[in-house]
Amino acid sequence: MRTSFDKSRLKILLLEGIHPSAERVFRDAGYSNIEAISTALTDQALIEKLEGVHFLGIRSASQVTRKIVESADKLVAIGCFCIGTNQVDLQAASEHGVVVFNAPYSNTRSVAELVLAEAIMLMRGIPEKSALAHRGVWKKSASDSYEIRGKTLGIVGYGAIGSQLSVLAEGLGMRVIFHDVVSKLPLGNASQVPTLDALLSQADVVSLHVPDLPSTRGMMTRERIDQMKPKAVLINASRGSVVDIDALANALRGQRILGAAIDVFPVEPKSNHDPFESPLTHFDNCILTPHVGGSTQEAQENIGVEVADKLVRYSDNGSTLTSVNFPEVALPPHPQHHRLLHIHENRPGVLSQINRVFAENAINIGSQFLQTTENIGYVVIDVDRDYSEIALENLANVEGTIRCRVLF
């Protein structure tokens, strides 16, 4: 597809070792100005690197703050090559007309498999036995070693990952209960419990699968951990803010629970060359993994394709389907027309001003699609080619305009 801006001049920056499948998607679509870096960058380094960049790809270690968004005057879209988007200031991105995409489903199987494997290992006491064996201690014992068949798995957050974990666990003979803030249709024989407290009191394995929200931060406090069964295990492969790490360390120190597995942390190293520190490193019955729940070749390849494809579609035709911070808009190409994208503050009168521009300049609209969120309005307009420059000049002067451009 021919666009108004030469694709070779559109600059793409990919950070944190994003899978090569993403770069292949860009190149197959005609984009060649791509820089890939294997680590996250500090705030200042990222600000400097974003000069002239139109599309940014990150994973979970990068932090795109308001200051960074405001400094990136060419930036039009951010791709989070992961599930979460809490590493991006979505409000700032919206205010500056920067659309944000993620990959909410591509790594669900990988995370679910890891959680299930950790549940089996913890219930058998394998992490502690393995650590002791590495130190020359032979601990052959069935004490506190259990099969997971017949045990109760409590899933907190029954979304894409939680529901898939539910199915896998039932296949191994586990009883599954779950708690979610909204009513969900259970898969298989799983059942929803009304409160988190009810789940904690019943579950032999508690697995957390919630987003980073004010309501979930610090969810697993000392009091909540104390509500767990004495021989239960706690697994967190969701967000590092969800578990009070010091409270968990105290519970393990006091042998209040059988063990834990933590894949995400409140503060994580930006690269493999930076040190990792946590009070949980002292406990052999606690599995610590470096945020690798979705880090399989299969998941990373799928994520690379999914997010890169969304960025290409936005760049090529203005589609914002599945965006996390923008109104969702999609229109098919309209031959013999130019496409205008208008991003504006969602307030009364903007659309009438936009339409007035076309009426006063005798410009015929081939097609028009408007969608809004609480704060942002997004209009895709196809007009006769001869009038696109006139329309663009006048649309940029509409009160409340955040960004306006000719796409093709």
Q: Which of 179, 239, 339, 344 is catalytic?
A: 239
Kind of pairing between the strands at 376-384 and 337-345: antiparallel
239 tagged catalytic: yes
The conformation of residue 187, written as its DSSP 8-state character, comes to P
Q: Which of 95, 170, 268, 345 is catalytic?
A: 268
Element holding 325 (H helix, E strand): none
Would you state the structure tokens that stand for residue 5, as one six-digit string?
A: 């801006």
Q: How far is CA 143 from the centre of its chain?
A: 40
The conformation of residue 51, written as its DSSP 8-state character, comes to T
Q: HSE of 78 in the Cβ direction (CA atoms, 13 Å)?
A: 31
CA distance 378 to 371: 6
HEC letters along 210-277? CCCCCCCCCCECHHHHHHCCCCCEEEECCCCCCECHHHHHHHHHCCCCCEEEECCCCCCCCCCCCCCC
Short-list 199, 142, 150, CA closest to 172: 150
* Whole-angstrom Cα Rg for the chain: 25
Helix (H/G/I), strand (E/B), else coil: 57: strand
Q: What length does the chain have?
A: 408
Which amino acid is located at 386 in the chain?
D
Q: Which of 291, 337, 342, 344 is catalytic?
A: 291
| Residues involved in catalysis | 239, 268, 291
